[in-house]
Structure 1
Amino acid sequence: MAKAMDSLPGSIRCYVSPMSSFIFYPAITSIASDLGVTVGNVNLAITTYMIVSGITPALLGNAADKFGRRPIYILALSIYIVANIGLALQSSFPALLVSRMLQSAGSSGTISLGYGIISDIASPSERGSYVGLFNLGPNVAPPLGPVLGGAIAANLGWRWIFWFIAILGGTCLLLVFLALSETARGVVGNGQVPANGLNRMPIPFVLNGKKGDTEVYNEPAEARKWSFPNPITCLKLLLENDIFIVLLCNGIYYATYCCVQASL
């Protein structure tokens, strides 16, 4: 039960990353008109978003392994909320680009952090079930995002798109702060090492006090090392043939999907 408490909210939190990308598309024409730039210029905000979303997870994922999932989640979602408020208030094209990059930096790490939590709490034989539950959010967001974005832009104006996802991000931040237990093995080991500071939930749940529910996949904890996150650690995985093939296939699919969505 405690594992589901960590994986299902993770699915909700990971809803914000694809949602933030695709909810933006129906308002491109309106934004271009209000800012006095071309649609092609506004499309650069999509490009910069995608570039940052490809880089940030390597940094946040490595940082989460060292410092814990909770602090990095809280940091990422805080950046995300501030960026969305900036997008809702901005009135210039440079501010749009910078805010979109910050938005991407805050949202894109949520998926990699979520998969990290699954690897912490589930054995290899169990992970398929949790990944299926976890992928509910990322898979629902792309088709639902443009529908919500179009409805909000048509009725309230495009700025309210960003107010809406700022509120959504705030809800996710509250959920993380109150309901997400620390699972990083470099911080809490196999779940028996007490967490401190931001790694600790302010209100421990009764569920987490039951030994049977908090038992996690038992593998040796790594020593905690305080150093700057190194994205090269993640990039080295590209040298593995099986991982490279899977990433290439998924990258081609996602690039094609984004191109089709942006051209509609």
Structure 2
Amino acid sequence: MDIARRNNVTVTGNPQGPAVVLAHGFGCDQNMWRLTVPALARDYRVVLFDYVGAGRSELSAFSEERYSCLDGYARDAVEVCEALDLRDAVFVGHSVSAMIGVQAAAMAPERIGALVMVAPSPRYIDEDGYRGGFSNEDIDELLASLESNYLGWSAAMAPVIMGNADRPELGEELKNSFCATDPDMARVFARTTFLSDSRDDLKSVQVPTLVLECTQDVIAPREVGSFVHQAIPGSTLITLDATGHCPHLSAPEATNEAITAFLADLR
């Protein structure tokens, strides 16, 4: 299958510039980066795509076996990079896509030369010596609710995940994005996301890495950002003046400023 069609690949910006790949998180699609693209388009070749099962991807390509682990999504990312023959691209991953980017960089080090991790979490479940933000019971309840009533779960959880209660339109947008995702495919991605444990993968990162966290984030509390930063040698941690789990939507200026400054330092 043609990868560009399968993953709804969009390429914009400066065709002569270094490549920046923008990867969305669970329940989202490439449209979530629309406030970031203009900040990059003048100087960079900007690549956007939808994971299979999300957005306008080719849904017939979905395989529960492939997408029941982060490796399957990382293969999507690598295959997009291969199809465009990208070299040393900067992979900007939101939420679970930050960990997908780590795996993709390990799979194809010649394709990905730097990482930007926006609100990352390598593990969502607490355990001794590690705070992910959720207990096992929390995650079990979250997944059970999602699987029994996906639309109801989306309506309830989107505003919580987005934060910014004084700007309800942001939560509404995330809810609409969740609801536009096929429930069966969302169920697979949710289990893959919330049951994942990528902590050991962080030690293998050998590329320049920027970690962006928010001051308040119910999905990825600040202890997680600190953990990721400490686990990746030489990484940079920036705490954005932003709340919620989607700073590229709720605080695009601060998010874009941090990303573009990091990219400028790479050149």
TM-score normalised per structure 1: 0.28
Structure with more of its chain in strand, by fraction: 2
TM-score normalised per structure 2: 0.28
Structure with more of its chain in helix, by fraction: 1
Rg bigger for which structure?
A: 1
Q: Which has the higher contact order (CA 8 A, sep 6+)?
A: 1
